Structure 1
Amino acid sequence: MMKQQAIYYHTLPNGLRMVHVATTASVAWCGLAINAGSRDERDGQFGLAHFVEHTIFKGTTHRRAHNIGCRMERVGGELNAYTTKEATMLYSVFPAQHLARAVELIADLVMYSVFPADELTREMDVVLEEVASYRDTPAEAAYDDFEDIAFAGSGFGHNILGCEEHVRAFTSRHCMEYLKEQYVPSNMVFFSVGPGRPDSVFRLVEKHMGAMHHRLQRSPRLAPALQPVRHEVMTIGAHQAHTVMGARLPGMYHTSRHALMLLNNILGGPGMNALLNVEMREKRGYVYTVESSLTLFTDCGLMEIYFGCDHADVAASRRIVQRVIDKLASTPLSERALTAHKRQYCGGLLVSADSTEFVAMNAARNLLFHNHVSTVDETMERIMAVTPAQLSQAAELLAGDRLSSLTLK
């Protein structure tokens, strides 16, 4: 089992914040978390954040794409990235003795990428294949289309991958402009997890990224407007109906955060005893699958409940979802029942946390958005402090007629 020892912080003169989590693991992680995602794209450039994440590996002033791809692989490591609506993660995992190699490579990517036109043309086909694969997966499409409803007219209200029209129009200039605007020290954090000494880690980062120019902060993000409740049905010729129900919620800084996290797990978490699974699948056999997800952004949140079922069972399944939520809102759980749910949640959190990847991504997101890394123990303490009344108050945010829905059939 990995033993987490201590958390260290440092900030470079150019504004780049850093965190190092010391562990006894022989495998290390490091990378950059960039406070930029699909919500930060301009009109007509949907998918650019994700496209830059793909093409940042395609060449720098020092390396060709092949050399970038092989740099960490030659020592058994990996180099990867992903994009969300509010952030981009660029990171490497590697045998711990190769930290210097990873730091230098990541610095090269964010400081000296050139986005060669021929490489961009080839990568467009890869990205567009990814776009098509999501549209060919009704469950994924249902989530994307529901978020278009929940966040209509805002930067949240479009697919992270973008659309073919926009992706095909991207050029090296678009990528370079986005990189220079968003990948700046004040908009990023460096994270490291491994056995290295914190002072050595921070000196390495300063050596390779200390010369990054500090630039003014970008314009503040605008919170998406609250949308009216809507119920939509789209016919796509699917054998099975795919439904997403959900509602807008407060964001990650709201006091209800931990109650919402617990509520999400109680409703549709991975356990067989999740309330919606018991009511919809085990008792009635209405659905093939049911799950809930909670996403907390900086200025808003979204709870989504997905289920797949026969077309004839959609209406009944929707009623059960609403009934379960309304009951949680109107009738607080007993202390005993709630304690059991809290212990289950905390146990799952402990299992997830026994992973260097979890520790790395948790450190990155926490420093990026909270300027502090919460430990698993701190999170469990806050979960265990949730009261029956607080859980019911969280459920009230979804109760009554607050849920919108989308069904693809």
Structure 2
Amino acid sequence: SSLQIINRLEIVGGELNAYTTKEKICFHASVLTPHYERALELLADITFRSTFPEKQVERERGVILEEMAMYYDSPEDAIQDDFDEIIFANHQLGKNTLGNQESVSNFTREDLLNFITENLDTERVIFSSIGNIPFKKVVQLAEKFFKDIPAKSSDLVRVVPSIYVPQSQSITKPISQAHVAIGRTAYSLTDKNRLPFFMLVNLLGGFGMNSRLNLAVRERNGLVYSIDAGYTPFIDTGFWGIGYATEVKRLNKVNSLILNELRKFREISLTKTQLQNTKDQLMGQMAMSEEGNMSFMLMMAKSLLDMNRIDSLEDLFVQIKAVTAPQLQDLANEMFIEDDLSYLTFLPE
């Protein structure tokens, strides 16, 4: 039962969780070393031997519908899902990973089993582990719980996204602020520009309070509480975007400031000092983010799954250090063109 699954690790102080992205699903657990085998057994059962009892399906249906309602009540979350539909129109990447009310209300246990049958490809399954356990022991336990799982390949073929066409939409909602998403398609996971562009977007609106957008829009003008930019690469395409919320009367001013910052990137190359600071900040952020065992474990798995290799921090740092200012300016002149951007705005009713 679901209660037995929950208690299997929690009664020994462990944690079991999962997440789904546009292209991946991940089941992960954290336990003390003496309970490692218990966690591995449970993960193997969940991943490959789930039975989806009818009663549990019905109960989980209600949970998912409540989760969807929670996201719909959060405009900063809802706008990103709606913006995906604009950027990747009529493609799987434009679909909400939660589904919609109709699909969630109508799926059956058989649908779940069929989905696993059609999509599971054992050649695309990665097992990643980190902890104070000898590698030989990890291999022994992995063979114990995974060796009897039959090999299976999926016949599904990824549909190539259609050609991107910029769009602009406004939607009224019962909210107090205007929420805005700005962006477009970008480089794929395997594109040579992936890491340099990630650096550029990080400088534009990354986690630091010293990002160009935060300084221009919040610190100098006080027009928003927060504004950020992000870049997500996929197998055969990618997406970059900017998000913020503000009063309706400030929309034009904020958008003007954003476009001005994008123009600066296109027209003005970074100085030697600015480039070095940008590299140092990104490398520091990456190193800090992987200090936790969970983050490092997931990084290894995603790297192997996406790139068929594990890029160490040292490998990534070598690539970052090789990026030049003209290279970043060229990327800005390709990705930061005003007429190529799409807009989605949620307006108060």
Superposition TM-score tier, normalisation by shorter sequence: over 0.9
CA distance in 1, matches of 2:120, 2:130: 22
The C-alpha deviation readout for 1:73-93, integer Å capped at 9, x for no partner, is 121111110000000000110
| 1:338 and 2:307 aligned | no
Which whole-Å deviations, capped at 9, do the CAs of 1:35-91 have from their partners, x for residues lacking one?
xxxxxxxxxxxxxxxxxxxxxxxxxxxxx2221111111211111100000000001
Which residue in 2 is equivalent to 1:139?
Answer: 76
Letter in 2 for 1:230: Q
Which whole-Å deviations, capped at 9, do the CAs of 1:146-198 have from their partners, x for residues lacking one? 11100001001121111111101111111111122333421211111112122
1:149 aligns with one of 82, 86, 100: 86
Runs of 4+ displaced beyond 3 Å:
none
CA–CA distance in 1 between the matches of 2:234 and 2:175? Answer: 32
Q: What is the RMSD computed on CA atoms of the aligned residues?
A: 1.2
In the TM superposition, residue 132 of structure 1 has moved relative to its aligned partner by 0.5
| Alignment partners' CA distance in 1, 2:244 and 2:154 | 41
1:127 corresponds in structure 2 to 64
Quick check: 1:76 aligned with 2:13? yes
* Matching residue of 1:325: 262
What TM-score do the two structures reach when normalised by structure 2?
0.96
Residues 244-253 or 379-388, more deviating? 379-388
Structure 2 residues without counterparts, runs of 5 or longer: none
SS in 2 for 1:193: coil
What is the DSSP-based 3-state SS (H/G/I as helix, E as strand, rest coil) of the residue aligned with 1:288?
Answer: coil
Q: Which residue of 2 aligns with 1:290?
A: 227
Shift of 1:265: 1.0
Q: Distance in 2 between matches of 1:165 and 1:298?
A: 28
Name the SS of the counterpart of 1:180 in structure 2. helix
Counterpart code for 1:389: P
Displacement of 1:371 in angstroms is 1.4
C-alpha contact (below 8 Å) 1:246/1:302 kept by paired residues: yes
Residue equivalent to 1:278: 215
Post-superposition CA distance 1:206-260 (Å, at most 9, x none)? 1111111112333331221123111111111321000000010110110111111
Q: Which residue number in structure 2 is paired with residue 88 of structure 1?
A: 25
Q: How many positions carry a matched residue from both structures?
A: 346
- Within-5 A mapping of 1:64-213: 64-213=1-150
One-letter code aligned to 1:99? Y
In 1, the alpha carbon distance for the partners of 2:69 and 2:174 equals 16
Is the contact between residue 252 and residue 300 of structure 1 (CA under 8 Å) also seen in structure 2? yes
Quick check: 1:391 aligned with 2:328? yes
More strand by share: 1
Letter in 2 for 1:171: T
Kept in 1, the 8 Å contact 2:128–2:300? The answer is yes
Task: State the alpha-carbon separation in 1 of the partners of residues 275 and 233 from structure 2.
Answer: 22
Cα deviation, residue 404, structure 1: 0.7
Is the Cα contact below 8 Å between 2:87 and 2:94 reproduced in 1?
A: yes
- Distance in 2, matches of 1:368 and 1:177, equals 24
Of 158, 176, 179 in structure 2, the residue corresponding to residue 242 of structure 1 is 179
Distance 1:130 1:236 in 2: 19
The reply on whether 1:263 has 2:195 as its aligned counterpart is no
1:400 aligns with 2:342: no
Percent of paired sites with the same residue: 32
Deviation at 1:264, TM superposition (A): 1.4
Counterpart Cα distance in 1 of 2:249 and 2:259 = 18
Contact 1:191–1:364 (CA under 8 A) maintained in structure 2: yes
Secondary structure in structure 1 of the residue aligned to 2:232 = strand
Instruction: Give the equivalent residue in structure 2 for 1:15.
Output: none
Could you say which structure has the higher helix fraction? 2
Instruction: Evaluate the alpha carbon distance shift between residue 353 and residue 111 of structure 1 in structure 2; reply closer, same or farther with a 3 A threshold.
Output: closer
Question: SS of the counterpart of 1:192?
Answer: coil
Give the drift of 1:338: 0.9
Report the Cα distance in structure 1 between the residues aligned to 2:48 and 2:235, rounded to whole angstroms: 27
d(CA) in 1 for partners of 2:102, 2:195: 40
How far apart are 1:117 and its partner, in Å? 0.7
Q: Work out whether residues 168 and 343 of structure 2, in 8 Å CA contact, stay in contact via their aligned partners in 1.
A: yes
Conserved? CA contact 2:122–2:153, under 8 Å: no
Comparing 114-123 and 174-183, the one that deviates more: 174-183
Aligned match of 1:230: 167
CA contact (8 A) 2:119 2:154 kept: no
Specify the code of the residue in structure 1 equivalent to 2:337.
Answer: A
Does structure 2 conserve the Cα–Cα contact (< 8 Å) formed by 1:247 and 1:398?
no
Alignment of 1:358-373 (within 5 A): 358-373=295-310
In structure 2, distance between residues paired with 1:327 and 1:287: 21
Tell me the amino acid that sits aligned with residue 400 of structure 1. E
Deviation at 1:288, TM superposition (A): 2.1
- Does 96-105 or 81-90 show the bigger shift? 96-105
